[in-house]
Amino acid sequence: MRKTMRIIPLASLVLAFAAAAQQGGWLIESSNVVSASQPTTTVEVWAWFDDPTGERNAFGRGDFDFIAADGEFSNPQMYLWTSPGFSAGTPTGNSVRGVFVGQLWGFVGLFANMQNPVLVWSVDWTTADFTPRTVSLDTRNTTTFQIGTNSTQIGMNLLELYPQGFTPGTGVIQVVPSPAIATPLLVLGAVMLRRRRRAV
């Protein structure tokens, strides 16, 4: 009986390898849909990591720039360690540059947040354009993403996952039509309906 060899497309192999290599990165979440009645949403960035050996127990530190397709950012916040050396970044229009977040522990009374994923950063996004659309969000220019291994209350070792084991963050904001636009359309529709009834 002749056996046939199954040929797997190169693209599938690349995707499978990439999925297996993913060990940590950023997650992006938006708090609400944006409209004229709610023109602002808070966007959060979370750090996550795999723990295949049971030795990784806390996010250490990482950096990124944060970019939206349009709109404006304001009020960036950090949620772990806020000492000098870390930075919530500088908002300029639709980008926030120079975000560096993380945590330190090992001092008396200083303990690590070992949640996974863990909230590390947020920023407010707003717009005056309520054209229905999906606004893309992503992290860029990461140069380090470190995880604490074998961490205790008195210290930690840092494992670097960037670049081979790192996944950048992507997300979206949904913008829906302004009620001020929808109302005239409803009125126009009612007028046309009345005219049609009179013509019948």
Alpha-carbon distance values, 93 to 60, 71, 72, 130 (Å): 29, 7, 5, 17
Calpha distance 137→29 (Å, rounded): 9
pLDDT of amino acid 152: 64
Peptide bond into 9 cis (omega under 30): no
pLDDT at 199: 54
pLDDT of residue 135: 98
Which H helix or E strand runs over 49?
strand 40-49
pLDDT tens-digit profile, the chain (200 residues): 444 333 434 443 333 334 445 699 999 999 999 999 999 999 999 999 999 888 898 999 999 999 999 999 999 999 998 778 899 999 999 999 999 999 877 655 567 888 999 999 999 999 999 999 999 999 999 999 999 887 665 667 899 999 999 999 999 999 998 665 444 444 444 444 444 445 55
Rg (CA), the chain: 24
What are the beta bridge partners of residue 96? 66, 91
With contact defined as beta carbons under 8 Å apart, do 59 and 27 qualify? no
Domain spans in the chain, listed from the N-terminal domain onward: 19-199
Token pair, residue 156, equals 């930690």
- Residues 147 and 161: beta-carbon distance below 8 Å: yes
Cis ω on the peptide bond leading into residue 184 (within 30° of 0)?
Answer: no
Amino acid (one-letter) located at 3: K
Q: What is the pLDDT of residue 126?
A: 98
Query: What is the third-level CATH fold of 19-199?
Result: Immunoglobulin-like (2.60.40)
